[in-house]
């Protein structure tokens, strides 16, 4: 059991028979006679739906022990992603709802930590950012405004907003939680080439 005031992103809980993954948790102090409250965002691991309950800070919740295995991403199709354990070649299907829009950035052969409750996969631990190449966007423009954006299409088909100075063919870094442009990606230079 864990107190609601101790909730942290990444924890797993069982509430009324449903398993949830904590996406966010924030404790708010109370004023005068009002007690504090813990605002949270939970993702139902079965359906992928978000739920935003509020708890009393002293409320006890059932936390779950998770195991983590490093699995290789193989492919995505029909609402699920297939991963393989490189040790025993066992394949595991993870519902696309648990990965979200970031699934489009997964590359075959990438090793990622997958969290399990028992034998059920409940989440994939994704990196915070991914690099992708711009395939379509308007020609670059250099204006005095830094806050002007234009639409762009990435090589995986995802559409994002980028600054005016970005050109087609450039490599950009994208925040996988919000699918927003962060910066130009640095391409390592090969020595002796």
pLDDT at 48 over 80: no
pLDDT, residue 43, reads 86
Calculate the average pLDDT of the chain: 86
The model's confidence at residue 193, banded by pLDDT at 50, 70 and 90, is very low
pTM: 0.73
**Full set of structural domains in the chain with CATH:** 2-63 (2.30.30.30), 67-124 (2.40.50.140), 129-184 (2.40.50.140)
Q: Give the H/E segment covering residue 97.
A: helix 96-99
Q: What pLDDT, in 10s, does the model give residues 117-126?
A: 888 888 888 8
Residue of higher predicted confidence among 101 and 170 = 170
Q: Give the H/E segment covering residue 55.
A: strand 54-55
Characterize 84-119 residue by residue with b for buried, 16 or more Cβ atoms within 10 angstroms of its Cβ, and e for exposed.
Answer: eeeeeeeebebebbbbeebbbbbeeeeebebbbbee
């Amino acid at each position: 059991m864990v107190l609601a005031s101790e909730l942290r992103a990444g924890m797993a809980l069982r509430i009324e028979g449903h398993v949830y993954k904590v996406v966010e948790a924030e404790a708010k102090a109370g004023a005068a006679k009002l007690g504090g409250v813990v605002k949270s965002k939970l993702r139902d691991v079965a359906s992928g739906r978000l739920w935003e309950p509020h708890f009393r800070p002293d409320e006890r919740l059932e936390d779950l022990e998770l195991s983590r295995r490093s699995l290789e991403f193989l492919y995505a199709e029909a609402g699920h992603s297939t991963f393989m354990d490189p040790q025993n070649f066992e394949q595991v299907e993870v519902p696309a709802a648990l990965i979200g829009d970031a699934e489009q950035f997964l590359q075959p052969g990438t090793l990622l930590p997958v969290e399990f409750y028992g034998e059920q996969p409940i989440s994939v631990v994704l990196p915070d950012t991914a690099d992708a190449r711009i395939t379509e966007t308007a020609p670059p423009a250099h204006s005095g405004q830094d806050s002007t954006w234009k639409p762009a299409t990435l090589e995986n088909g995802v559409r994002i907003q980028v600054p005016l100075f970005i050109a087609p063919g450039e490599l950009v870094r994208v925040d996988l939680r919000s699918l927003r442009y962060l910066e130009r990606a640095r391409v390592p230079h090969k020595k002796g080439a």
